[in-house]
Chain A
Amino acid sequence: GAGVSQSPSNKVTEKGKDVELRCDPISGHTALYWYRQSLGQGLEFLIYFQGNSAPDKSGLPSDRFSAERTGGSVSTLTIQRTQQEDSAVYLCASSRKRDQETQYFGPGTRLLVL
């Protein structure tokens, strides 16, 4: 079946601009996670959704970062006033209720802030 999909694959933006990253989880998966993979920091958790609510936002690095999920499916991660240190690969993962500890990852969005 279809896996987690993310768009765009690559995004180049100028410092100070806002960006939106999209994640489509595997159909029927109730939990959705955002992570960031950057040089020197490894893979860091950002936020997770259970349905449309976000019980854990502890990993969001600043108030410039926000995320929402609608209809229990698609999620958007928004970064406002991007900074060069936001350059990273943003990964989305989802998991299903019956095997909720196992997360399946998408291909990521590579963000470069100039």
Chain B
Amino acid sequence: AQSVSQHNHHVILSEAASLELGCNYSYGGTVNLFWYVQYPGQHLQLLLKYFSGDPLVKGIKGFEAEFIKSKFSFNLRKPSVQWSDTAEYFCAVNAANTGFQKLVFGTGTRLLVSP
């Protein structure tokens, strides 16, 4: 079975600070990896995804994530955060190449960016 760990439950940053949110997964096979974001009062939105190829993926709003297979990690990064990045961030995985598959989510990281 798959599992996902997000070690940082709450992160507080000032505007312009750099961000890195950790995500580690556990699964014996090949996975697809996702980061979703939930802004206050809004629904889950896809930030970026990794299926195969270049392990550094770029998403919307200046976010990127790097898949490191040897570490079972898919950390989310942004060089300079903005107040509008205040949200909850979820890392998720599903089994690759198996068609429709449920997502397994981490517990989420709440990011607060102070102006």
Contact = CB atoms under 8 A, between A and B. Distances in A.
Nearest to A100: B100
Contacts of B102: 33, 45, 48, 56, 59
A102 B105 CA distance: 14
Contacts of A100: 99-100
Contacts of A59: 102
Contacts of B104: 45
Given A48-B102, A95-B100, A101 B44 contact: no
Given A48-B102, A59-B102, A91-B44, A101 B107 contact: no
A108 B96 contact: no
B105 A101 contact: no
Interface string A65-78: 00000000000000
B100 A31 contact: yes
The 4 closest A-B pairs by CB, nearest first: A43-B105, A105-B44, A45-B102, A107-B43
21 contacts: A31-B100, A33-B102, A35-B103, A42-B107, A42-B108, A43-B92, A43-B105, A45-B102, A45-B104, A50-B99, A50-B100, A91-B44, A95-B100, A100-B99, A101-B49, A101-B101, A102-B49, A103-B103, A104-B46, A107-B43, A108-B43
Interface of A: 31, 33, 35, 42-43, 45, 48, 50, 55-56, 59, 91, 93, 95, 100-108
